[in-house]
Amino acid sequence: MIRGKFITLEGGEGVGKTTNLAFIKSCLQQYKVTVALTREPGGTELAEKIRQLLLNKEGETITEQAELLMIFAARAQHIKHVIEPALAQGNWVLCDRFTDATYAYQGGGRNISKFTIEWLENLVQGNLKPDLTILLDAPIEIGLARAKARANLDRFEAEKTIFFEQVRQSYLSQAAQYPERIKLINANQPLAHVQKELAEILETFFQ
Ligand code: TMP
Protein backbone atom coordinates (compact mmCIF):
# COMPACT_ATOMS: atom_id res chain seq x y z
CA MET A 1 0.00 0.00 0.00
CA ILE A 2 1.44 3.39 -1.01
CA ARG A 3 1.13 5.88 1.82
CA GLY A 4 -1.12 8.87 1.09
CA LYS A 5 0.03 12.47 1.11
CA PHE A 6 -0.69 14.97 3.83
CA ILE A 7 -1.76 18.43 2.65
CA THR A 8 -2.56 21.36 4.93
CA LEU A 9 -4.21 24.70 4.30
CA GLU A 10 -3.23 27.69 6.43
CA GLY A 11 -3.95 31.38 6.75
CA GLY A 12 -5.22 34.07 9.07
CA GLU A 13 -8.85 34.85 9.80
CA GLY A 14 -11.18 35.45 6.83
CA VAL A 15 -8.69 34.63 4.04
CA GLY A 16 -11.13 32.23 2.34
CA LYS A 17 -9.96 28.87 3.66
CA THR A 18 -13.40 27.23 3.61
CA THR A 19 -14.18 28.04 -0.03
CA ASN A 20 -10.71 27.07 -1.17
CA LEU A 21 -10.64 23.87 0.84
CA ALA A 22 -13.59 22.57 -1.19
CA PHE A 23 -11.82 23.64 -4.37
CA ILE A 24 -8.58 21.86 -3.40
CA LYS A 25 -10.55 18.73 -2.55
CA SER A 26 -12.22 18.73 -5.97
CA CYS A 27 -8.83 19.26 -7.69
CA LEU A 28 -7.30 16.34 -5.79
CA GLN A 29 -10.20 14.08 -6.74
CA GLN A 30 -9.47 14.80 -10.40
CA TYR A 31 -6.13 13.10 -9.80
CA LYS A 32 -8.09 10.03 -8.64
CA VAL A 33 -6.96 10.05 -5.05
CA THR A 34 -9.31 9.45 -2.13
CA VAL A 35 -9.33 12.53 0.06
CA ALA A 36 -10.14 12.68 3.77
CA LEU A 37 -11.08 16.24 4.67
CA THR A 38 -10.47 17.24 8.27
CA ARG A 39 -9.57 20.22 10.46
CA GLU A 40 -7.65 21.43 13.50
CA PRO A 41 -8.28 21.90 16.26
CA GLY A 42 -10.76 19.06 15.84
CA GLY A 43 -11.27 16.01 13.64
CA THR A 44 -12.18 13.49 16.37
CA GLU A 45 -14.92 13.49 18.99
CA LEU A 46 -12.57 14.52 21.80
CA ALA A 47 -10.60 16.96 19.66
CA GLU A 48 -13.84 18.69 18.61
CA LYS A 49 -14.75 19.06 22.31
CA ILE A 50 -11.33 20.63 22.93
CA ARG A 51 -11.98 22.93 19.96
CA GLN A 52 -15.23 24.14 21.55
CA LEU A 53 -13.38 24.88 24.80
CA LEU A 54 -10.65 26.76 22.90
CA LEU A 55 -13.05 28.92 20.88
CA ASN A 56 -15.43 29.70 23.72
CA LYS A 57 -15.01 33.24 25.06
CA GLU A 58 -17.06 32.67 28.21
CA GLY A 59 -15.77 31.41 31.55
CA GLU A 60 -12.33 31.55 33.09
CA THR A 61 -9.37 32.88 31.17
CA ILE A 62 -7.39 30.18 29.39
CA THR A 63 -3.67 30.62 30.04
CA GLU A 64 -1.31 30.63 27.07
CA GLN A 65 0.28 27.39 28.27
CA ALA A 66 -3.12 25.72 28.71
CA GLU A 67 -4.12 26.85 25.21
CA LEU A 68 -0.93 25.40 23.72
CA LEU A 69 -1.34 22.09 25.54
CA MET A 70 -5.01 21.80 24.58
CA ILE A 71 -4.10 22.31 20.94
CA PHE A 72 -1.46 19.59 21.09
CA ALA A 73 -3.79 17.29 23.06
CA ALA A 74 -6.39 17.64 20.30
CA ARG A 75 -3.64 17.09 17.71
CA ALA A 76 -2.43 13.90 19.39
CA GLN A 77 -5.95 12.43 19.19
CA HIS A 78 -6.39 13.59 15.61
CA ILE A 79 -3.10 12.11 14.41
CA LYS A 80 -3.61 8.77 16.16
CA HIS A 81 -7.27 8.23 15.23
CA VAL A 82 -7.69 9.99 11.89
CA ILE A 83 -4.59 11.25 10.09
CA GLU A 84 -2.18 8.32 10.49
CA PRO A 85 -4.77 5.60 9.76
CA ALA A 86 -5.96 7.44 6.63
CA LEU A 87 -2.40 7.94 5.30
CA ALA A 88 -1.52 4.33 6.06
CA GLN A 89 -4.54 3.17 4.04
CA GLY A 90 -3.29 5.15 1.06
CA ASN A 91 -5.79 7.98 1.41
CA TRP A 92 -4.76 11.59 1.12
CA VAL A 93 -5.48 13.86 4.06
CA LEU A 94 -6.46 17.47 3.48
CA CYS A 95 -6.40 19.34 6.77
CA ASP A 96 -7.73 22.82 7.52
CA ARG A 97 -4.82 24.11 9.65
CA PHE A 98 -2.10 22.11 11.41
CA THR A 99 1.11 22.87 13.34
CA ASP A 100 2.06 25.89 11.21
CA ALA A 101 -0.99 27.51 12.86
CA THR A 102 0.54 26.78 16.26
CA TYR A 103 3.80 28.51 15.29
CA ALA A 104 1.74 31.45 13.95
CA TYR A 105 -0.93 31.82 16.66
CA GLN A 106 0.77 30.52 19.81
CA GLY A 107 4.32 31.36 18.68
CA GLY A 108 3.73 34.65 16.82
CA GLY A 109 0.46 35.74 18.45
CA ARG A 110 1.10 34.65 22.03
CA ASN A 111 4.91 34.87 22.03
CA ILE A 112 5.48 31.28 23.12
CA SER A 113 9.02 30.23 22.26
CA LYS A 114 9.69 28.26 19.13
CA PHE A 115 11.65 25.71 21.16
CA THR A 116 8.65 24.95 23.37
CA ILE A 117 6.44 24.40 20.31
CA GLU A 118 9.14 22.30 18.63
CA TRP A 119 9.42 20.13 21.73
CA LEU A 120 5.68 19.42 21.73
CA GLU A 121 5.70 18.93 17.97
CA ASN A 122 8.36 16.22 18.30
CA LEU A 123 6.53 14.59 21.19
CA VAL A 124 3.14 14.50 19.48
CA GLN A 125 4.05 14.14 15.82
CA GLY A 126 7.29 12.21 15.68
CA ASN A 127 8.21 12.35 12.00
CA LEU A 128 4.79 13.42 10.75
CA LYS A 129 4.98 16.65 8.75
CA PRO A 130 2.74 17.89 5.94
CA ASP A 131 3.99 17.01 2.43
CA LEU A 132 2.52 20.24 1.11
CA THR A 133 1.15 23.33 2.84
CA ILE A 134 -0.76 26.10 1.11
CA LEU A 135 -0.72 29.44 2.88
CA LEU A 136 -3.42 31.95 1.94
CA ASP A 137 -2.24 35.43 2.79
CA ALA A 138 -4.14 38.72 2.89
CA PRO A 139 -3.71 42.01 4.73
CA ILE A 140 -5.33 41.58 8.14
CA GLU A 141 -7.92 44.37 7.59
CA ILE A 142 -9.33 42.41 4.65
CA GLY A 143 -9.53 39.11 6.51
CA LEU A 144 -10.85 40.61 9.73
CA ALA A 145 -13.59 42.51 7.90
CA ARG A 146 -14.73 39.21 6.36
CA ALA A 147 -14.53 37.36 9.69
CA LYS A 148 -16.43 40.12 11.50
CA ALA A 149 -19.19 40.08 8.88
CA ARG A 150 -19.96 36.52 10.00
CA ALA A 151 -21.89 35.71 13.20
CA ASN A 152 -20.38 35.90 16.71
CA LEU A 153 -16.63 36.26 17.00
CA ASP A 154 -14.89 33.36 18.73
CA ARG A 155 -12.11 33.67 21.34
CA PHE A 156 -9.37 34.03 18.69
CA GLU A 157 -11.32 36.27 16.33
CA ALA A 158 -11.97 38.66 19.23
CA GLU A 159 -8.20 39.28 19.66
CA LYS A 160 -6.58 42.69 19.10
CA THR A 161 -5.22 43.81 15.72
CA ILE A 162 -1.59 43.43 16.87
CA PHE A 163 -2.23 39.73 17.54
CA PHE A 164 -3.32 39.15 13.92
CA GLU A 165 -0.41 41.18 12.59
CA GLN A 166 1.99 38.93 14.55
CA VAL A 167 0.15 35.81 13.31
CA ARG A 168 0.47 37.00 9.72
CA GLN A 169 4.17 37.90 10.02
CA SER A 170 4.88 34.57 11.63
CA TYR A 171 3.13 32.67 8.82
CA LEU A 172 5.07 34.69 6.22
CA SER A 173 8.39 33.99 7.88
CA GLN A 174 7.60 30.26 7.99
CA ALA A 175 6.79 30.36 4.27
CA ALA A 176 10.15 32.04 3.66
CA GLN A 177 11.92 29.44 5.82
CA TYR A 178 10.32 26.38 4.15
CA PRO A 179 9.70 27.40 0.53
CA GLU A 180 9.79 23.79 -0.68
CA ARG A 181 6.85 22.76 1.50
CA ILE A 182 4.87 25.98 2.06
CA LYS A 183 3.37 27.59 -1.04
CA LEU A 184 2.25 31.15 -0.52
CA ILE A 185 -0.81 32.52 -2.32
CA ASN A 186 -2.01 36.11 -2.28
CA ALA A 187 -5.64 35.71 -1.18
CA ASN A 188 -6.36 39.38 -1.76
CA GLN A 189 -7.22 38.91 -5.45
CA PRO A 190 -10.31 37.62 -7.28
CA LEU A 191 -11.25 34.07 -6.33
CA ALA A 192 -10.68 32.85 -9.89
CA HIS A 193 -7.03 33.98 -9.70
CA VAL A 194 -6.53 32.35 -6.29
CA GLN A 195 -7.96 29.10 -7.61
CA LYS A 196 -5.86 29.21 -10.77
CA GLU A 197 -2.76 29.42 -8.58
CA LEU A 198 -4.04 26.62 -6.36
CA ALA A 199 -4.61 24.37 -9.37
CA GLU A 200 -1.07 25.11 -10.64
CA ILE A 201 0.48 24.29 -7.27
CA LEU A 202 -1.36 20.97 -7.17
CA GLU A 203 -0.42 20.17 -10.76
CA THR A 204 3.26 20.73 -9.91
CA PHE A 205 2.89 18.64 -6.77
CA PHE A 206 1.58 15.70 -8.81
CA GLN A 207 4.43 15.83 -11.32
P1 TMP B 1 -10.51 28.12 12.20
O2 TMP B 1 -10.87 29.55 12.29
O3 TMP B 1 -9.63 27.83 11.06
O4 TMP B 1 -11.69 27.23 12.26
O5 TMP B 1 -9.58 27.76 13.48
C6 TMP B 1 -9.97 28.00 14.75
C7 TMP B 1 -9.01 28.89 15.48
O8 TMP B 1 -8.01 28.11 16.11
C9 TMP B 1 -8.30 29.93 14.64
O10 TMP B 1 -8.61 31.21 15.14
C11 TMP B 1 -6.84 29.66 14.85
C12 TMP B 1 -6.79 28.81 16.09
N13 TMP B 1 -5.67 27.85 16.11
C14 TMP B 1 -4.59 28.11 16.92
O15 TMP B 1 -4.55 29.13 17.61
N16 TMP B 1 -3.54 27.22 16.93
C17 TMP B 1 -3.55 26.08 16.19
O18 TMP B 1 -2.58 25.31 16.23
C19 TMP B 1 -4.70 25.81 15.36
C20 TMP B 1 -4.73 24.57 14.53
C21 TMP B 1 -5.72 26.73 15.34
Question: Hey, is 183 helix, strand or coil?
Answer: strand
Residue 198 has a pLDDT of: 98
Centre of ligand 1 from the C-alpha of residue 86, in Å: 22
95 lines ligand 1 (CB under 6 A): no
pLDDT of residue 148: 81
Q: What is the mean pLDDT of residues 26-36?
A: 95
Is the Cβ–Cβ distance between 155 and 105 less than 8 Å? no
Q: What is the pTM of this model?
A: 0.97
**pLDDT at residue 56, as a whole number:** 96
> Ligand 1 centroid to 192 CA: how many Å?
26
Mapped onto helix, strand or coil, the DSSP state of residue 137 is strand
For residue range 121-175, what is the model confidence (pLDDT) as tens digits?
999 999 999 999 999 999 999 988 888 887 788 999 999 999 999 999 999 999 9
pLDDT of amino acid 207: 87
The response to whether residue 51 sits with its C-beta less than 6 Å from ligand 1 reads: no
pLDDT at 145: 86
pLDDT digits (tens, 9 = 90+) for 61-102: 999 999 999 999 999 999 999 999 999 999 999 999 999 999
44 lines ligand 1 (CB under 6 A): no
pLDDT above 80 for 2: yes
Cα-to-centroid distance, 1 and ligand 1 (Å): 32
Residue ranges covered by each domain of the chain: 6-206
Q: Is 71 in the pocket of ligand 1 (CB under 6 A)?
A: yes
Q: Is 120 in the pocket of ligand 1 (CB under 6 A)?
A: no
Query: How far from the centroid of its chain's Cα atoms is residue 177's Cα?
Result: 17
Residue-level pLDDT at 204: 96
CATH 3.40.50.300, domain 6-206, yes or no: yes
What is 46-88 written as a DSSP string? HHHHHHHHHH--SSSPPPHHHHHHHHHHHHHHHIIIIIHHHHH
- DSSP at 32: T
Which residues, other chains included, contact 102 with Cβ-Cβ below 8 Å and sequence gap of 6+? 68, 71, 72, 117, 121
Ligand 1 atom with the shortest distance to the CA of 96? 3
pLDDT digits (tens, 9 = 90+) for 37-61: 999 999 999 999 999 999 999 999 9
Question: Which of 69, 105, 170 should be mutated for ligand 1, with most atoms under 8 A from CB?
Answer: 105
